Structure 1
Amino acid sequence: MKYKVLAVLGSLLLISLGARAEQIGSVDTVFKMIGPDHKIIVEAFDDPDVQNVTCYVSRAKTGGIKGGLGLAEDTSDAAISCQQVGPVELSEKIKSGKAQGDVVFQKRTSLVFKKLQVVRFYDAKRNTLAYLAYSDKVVEGSPKNAVSAVPIMPWK
């Protein structure tokens, strides 16, 4: 029991770390008579370790009574698109490959056990950053995922 409580507290702490998303907009997908409608939400966040790279994530948000109370589990569906929005300089940690798979964004998608994560990889051969969005659960994750690549280009 003690380990379950520690796991839950650790998960909540990890969720609070990383980039913060700004909601850009949303569309309703299913009308709910009671509680908020089911939606697709579009959020933007900046990579916390790479200046001038912004990612846009779209994800499902469950409505209804459970969704309105924050008790619903959102589906694992998500899409991601990342762009260079200014001059990019990579840290030595990223260039050396020591930051492969670093979590740059997390969003809780259920009360406790499920979250959407975005991780970053650096492809040195192509001088490109790759961002992978996926959903995971404490017990069982989902194979649903999306990827976006940002080639590092000179900025004028």
Structure 2
Amino acid sequence: MMHSIHCTLVVLSTALVALPSQAQKIGEVDTVFQWLGPDHKIVVEAYDDPKVPGVTCYVSRARTGGIKGALGLAEDRSEASIECRQVGPINFKEPLPQQEDVFTERMSLLFKRLHVVRMVDVQRNTLVYLTYSDRVIEGSPQNSVTAVTVERGVKIPVKERR
């Protein structure tokens, strides 16, 4: 009983702490026909980095269809791919943390989330983006990484570690 309550609290606190994703759907392709409910799909979504104007990340991932998918009860697969690009002038309004979860989105009703993490490679003046999924109990080692090099004339400001 106590373990169940602890798991529920972890799920709720994770949901409250997670940043909302602001995805724009770019497109989708059907991968498996379903007699009832929507087909299984691969979707491509764009996420603008909220702290780095001029950078957009494109994430492709599976979406489960069928009746469970239509009702929001399905658990999507852990595989995702990411590619981030400079789509405009890059500027920084404030220093960035060395590493930060910039987007999260649920992949199942309660337990699974997709993450996009931004890391700063100061030596190479580059923003590195990693995508992976996790669960309350166990995550997946499957991941994808991409990088956006910032012009040498524009230094990436990084928050001092305390």
TM over 0.5, shorter chain: yes
What letter matches 1:41 in structure 2? Answer: V
Greater Cα offset, 82-91 or 21-30: 82-91
Structure with the bigger percentage of helix: 1
User: Contact 1:19–1:46 (CA<8 Å) still a contact in 2?
Assistant: no
> 1:85 deviation in Å?
1.3
User: Contact 1:18–1:48 (CA<8 Å) still a contact in 2?
Assistant: no
Q: Which residue of 1 aligns with 2:157?
A: none
Identity across the alignment (%): 58
SS for the counterpart of 1:125 is coil
C-alpha distance in 2 between matches for 1:52 and 1:75:
30
Q: Could you list the runs of 5+ residues in structure 1 that have no partner in the other structure?
A: none
Q: Which residue of 1 aligns with 2:116?
A: 118
Q: Which residue of 1 aligns with 2:160?
A: none
CA RMSD of aligned residues (A): 1.7
Q: Which residue of 2 aligns with 1:103?
A: 101
SS for the counterpart of 1:10 is helix
C-alpha distance in 2 between matches for 1:59 and 1:126:
29
C-alpha distance in 2 between matches for 1:18 and 1:103:
11
What letter matches 1:86 in structure 2? Answer: G
> 1:91 deviation in Å?
5.2
How many pairs does the alignment contain? 150
User: Contact 1:103–1:118 (CA<8 Å) still a contact in 2?
Assistant: yes
Which of the numbers 6, 9, 12 marks the counterpart of 1:9? 12
User: Contact 1:37–1:63 (CA<8 Å) still a contact in 2?
Assistant: yes
Q: Could you list the runs of 5+ residues in structure 2 that have no partner in the other structure?
A: 155-162
C-alpha distance in 1 between matches for 2:21 and 2:50:
6
What letter matches 2:9 in structure 1? Answer: L
Moved over 6 A (4+): none
What's the TM-score once normalised by structure 1's chain length? 0.89
